[in-house]
Amino acid sequence: MENGSQNPVSKYPEPEFPQQDQEHPGWTGPMDPPPDHGEDSYRGCGLLTDRKALVTGGDSGIGRAVALAFAREGADVLFTYVAEEADEARGTSRLVEEAGRRAVAVECDIREEEQCRQLVDRAVAEFGRIDILVNNAAYQMSQPDGISAISTEQFDRVMRTNLYGMFWLSKMALPHIPEGGSIINSASVQAYKPSPHLLDYAMTKGAIVTFTQGLAQMLAPDGIRVNAVAPGPVWTPLIPATLPDTVNFGKQAPLGRPAQPAEMAPAYVFLASPRSSYITAEIVNATGGTPLP
């Protein structure tokens, strides 16, 4: 490494990884190699001073990295988790509080409209407003046997988690997002290059891209920006919990490895900050070199 630069290929662990399987939704602790959320690397510079953020799925993975980065940039963070992830949520809260900001962890099933309404009410009660909404929570389950193996139960869960929750929260949060506010959605490389075994998940990510671009045009006159981040393969607990092959995960990316959650967080910070004031309806592709439209 010279002049502070580092080869992105070798910056983080490269496959092959040990084969590892977990029950859904997956946990950070057993993962090998352990995910990096930026605990020892992210340095804030006041880009989000005194902002108030709501992040769904903030207990682990990309959501945890985003919550940590937002806090180190000066934001207070309310984030959601599901019941099975209570221990993970405490870890995120600790990271936010160690950065000197408020952390509010809320158990919430965003598949339920009333729980989404209560979540927004809680955020407003805690913070008075919502400057940044990050719709990040998602569900996927690999089905290598094709469309016939996708049950109606699974299909409904994917749609309600990935789309209904995003729609409800965006709609309900809007009255509390001031001028200069930002909505950031988590899309995916799957929106453009769908893997057949993730058919239903990929469908939702394509819809998120369309929703992002449409809502951005709708809200532009109000001074509220709407963007999305489209990650490629990222090493999060969702991977050993939902995919059959963890040994070669991410190897297909041109950089030859999966991203770490810490590598996604700066894109969310940029889109939330005034530095992206003329950027809306944009999809920031963070795919490790996989070209997207």
What amino acid positions are annotated as catalytic residues?
Answer: 201
- Distinct helix (H) and strand (E) counts, the chain: 8, 7
Q: Work out the burial of residue 256: count CB atoms within 10 Å of its CB; fewer than 13 is exposed, 13-18 middle, 19 or more buried.
A: middle
Phi and psi torsions of 286, nearest 5°: -125, 75
- Tell me which residue of 203, 133, 200 sits closest to 168, measured CA to CA: 133
DSSP alpha helix (H) spans, 4-110: 61-72, 86-98
Distance (Å, whole) CA 220 – CA 43: 31
**Which element (helix H / strand E) includes 161?**
none
Quick check: 58 and 92 in contact, CB under 8 A?
A: yes
Q: Any idea which residue has 């009660």 for tokens?
A: 125
Contact assessment for residue 89 and residue 79, using Cβ atoms and an 8 Å cutoff: yes
Question: 3-class SS at 204?
Answer: helix
> For residue 122, with 0-12 CB atoms within 10 Å meaning exposed, 13-18 middle and 19 or more buried, which class applies?
middle
**Phi and psi dihedrals of 203, rounded to 5?**
-55, -45
